[in-house]
Amino acid sequence: MLFGLEAVLAVVETEPMVVAARSIRRGDIILAVDVQLAAMPVSAIGPSWAGNIEDVVGKVAQIDIEAADPISTHMARDAPVTPTGTTVIEVRLASSVDDVLAGDRVRLVSAVGCEGADCTLAENATVMNVGKPDTTGALGVNDRLVSFAMPPEAAAKVMELQQAGAIMAVVR
């Protein structure tokens, strides 16, 4: 029986597949130490599963990935690059950032300091990085510093009105 099992296992063709070496949280940039290669049967590997570590390193995790989970190319996307003609500033947001990931485009609005009903400060701000919660923030323990790329004129408005009151990110 043992020899029969070994004979079957010897003919099972395997290919490398990228798996998580440890847990990776949604929104984290995937590092080389976060992943490893594992030999998987060819029948279990489809075209969307990453076969090279370079396919996922430096990308942003789109979902929580647990240790030993295989990683598909849909689970990670490129980290954003600062668009030409924009500047990057950190903004303390009053709104929840749980659904915001690096690379997303949002509308930044102010709760105070604007005339009229619409108080849009930046129409298409690109999320560059979502920071950890700031326990010393002026707005409370859930404050988050988020880096955004936006035109310089919008950045100046955001910096000015951030001192006056809450800034919120509206997800598109």
Per-residue pLDDT, 117 = 67
Q: Where in the chain is the domain with CATH 3.90.1210.10?
A: 13-77
For the chain, what percent of residues have pLDDT higher than 90? 47
pLDDT tier at 122, thresholds 50, 70, 90: very high
Task: Enumerate residues 6+ apart whose C-beta is below 8 A from 4.
Answer: none
Alpha carbon distance 91, 37 (integer Å): 38
Q: Is 138 left (phi over 0), alpha (psi -120 to 50) or beta?
A: alpha
Least confident of 2-6, 12-16, 60-64: 2-6
pLDDT tier at 44, thresholds 50, 70, 90: low
Q: Which CATH class is domain 13-77?
A: alpha beta
Per-residue pLDDT, 150 = 97
Per-residue pLDDT, 35 = 97
Closest CA to 165 of 93, 89, 88, 87: 93
pLDDT, tens digit, 9 for 90 and up, residues 82-120: 889 999 999 998 888 887 888 889 999 998 877 766 789
Q: Is 140 left (phi over 0), alpha (psi -120 to 50) or beta?
A: left
pLDDT tier at 19, thresholds 50, 70, 90: very high
Residue type, 78: D
Per-residue pLDDT, 79 = 80
Q: CA torsion, points 159, 160, 166, 167, in degrees to nearest 10?
A: -40
Cα separations in angstroms, 141 against 92, 93, 137: 12, 12, 6
